[in-house]
């Protein structure tokens, strides 16, 4: 039975840039970005990195499925799981794919079609038998994908653009902001506005303030900046996300220890973890 008020996020991929399966990342997980967010009976999915394949496998038994997939952007680590999403091959299922970073020069259908194109990939987008709708919007717009579910968005600072999301359900909120670079001098006002008063904020924390130097322009941020933004915007729970593939479990344990001393209740995302506002 579905609890019509249950609101939660489950992490299927927490890693940035490239998947890194192996004994040294087994606890935090090696798959790239993918979140499942349940708003009662409604299913929202965010990003289709390598974790998306595992989410798909878990969903097979729920057919017929109607769900929305929101993409932060289309760098490969956020879309490469799409062709391996088994529910996409069931004609009973229906999906809408949303992207806010491509207009006016591209559309999401065109860009995903370019990824699934020979000789880079053996089959095209048309292989999917589920009903798939492609929806481009402008980051900054607000979307109401289902009754009682509000998705607010904001543009992020990332090469080729990206979209940040705030999902609201039953007066609670979960924010997902990955692949964004901060400016060391001033906080990103668009992000502060989006996350104000949120219950959970999942933020691109690939680097530390120290290791950020020399990586300006790469499009990523630090866990210290995430903490500062959450403090400034009165956020309840800060979640470190988009881990560097070179950061093994021991390294992530140290980050978890440090952040929980500085901002108690903060969390380092792990594959399989479920968080509720």
- Which residues bind to Zn ion, rule: CB under 5 A? 16, 75, 77, 179
Residue number of the CB closest to Zn ion reads 75
Which residue, 93 or 163, has its beta carbon nearer to Zn ion?
163
Which residue, 93 or 205, has its beta carbon nearer to Zn ion?
205
Which residue, 76 or 184, has its beta carbon nearer to Zn ion?
76
Which residue, 87 or 155, has its beta carbon nearer to Zn ion?
155
Give the nearest distance from C-beta 206 to Zn ion in angstroms: 8
Give the nearest distance from C-beta 74 to Zn ion in angstroms: 9
Give the nearest distance from C-beta 49 to Zn ion in angstroms: 8
- Of 44, 46, 52, 45, nearest in space to 19 by CA: 52
Which residue, 77 or 271, has its beta carbon nearer to Zn ion?
77
Give the nearest distance from C-beta 78 to Zn ion in angstroms: 6
Give the nearest distance from C-beta 153 to Zn ion in angstroms: 16
Structural contact between residues 49 and 86, judged by C-beta atoms closer than 8 angstroms: no
Give the nearest distance from C-beta 219 to Zn ion in angstroms: 6
Which residue, 29 or 87, has its beta carbon nearer to Zn ion?
29
């Amino acid at each position: 039975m579905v609890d019509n008020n249950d609101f939660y996020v489950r992490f299927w991929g927490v890693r940035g840039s490239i998947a890194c399966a192996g004994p040294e990342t087994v606890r935090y997980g090696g798959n790239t970005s993918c979140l499942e967010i349940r708003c009662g009976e409604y299913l929202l999915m965010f990003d289709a990195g390598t974790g998306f394949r595992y989410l798909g496998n878990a969903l097979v038994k729920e057919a017929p499925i109607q769900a929305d997939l929101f993409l932060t952007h289309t760098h490969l680590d956020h879309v490469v799981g799409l062709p391996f999403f088994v529910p996409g091959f069931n004609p009973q299922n229906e999906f809408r794919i949303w992207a806010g970073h491509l207009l006016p020069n591209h559309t999401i259908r065109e860009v995903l079609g370019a990824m699934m194109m020979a000789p880079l990939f053996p089959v095209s987008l048309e292989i999917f038998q589920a009903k798939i709708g492609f929806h481009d919007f402008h980051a900054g717009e607000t979307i109401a994908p289902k009754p009682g579910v509000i998705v607010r968005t904001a543009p992020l600072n990332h090469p080729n653009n990206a979209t940040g999301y705030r999902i609201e359900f039953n007066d609670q909120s979960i924010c997902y902001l990955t692949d964004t670079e901060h400016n060391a001098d001033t906080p990103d006002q668009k992000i502060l506005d989006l996350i104000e008063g949120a219950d959970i904020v999942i933020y691109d924390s690939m680097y530390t303030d120290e290791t950020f130097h020399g990586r300006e322009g790469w499009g990523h941020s630090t866990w210290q900046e995430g903490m500062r933004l959450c403090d400034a915007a009165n956020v309840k729970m800060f979640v470190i996300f988009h881990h560097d593939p070179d950061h093994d479990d021991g390294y992530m344990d140290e980050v978890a220890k440090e952040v929980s001393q500085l901002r108690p209740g903060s969390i380092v995302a792990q594959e399989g973890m479920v968080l509720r506002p």
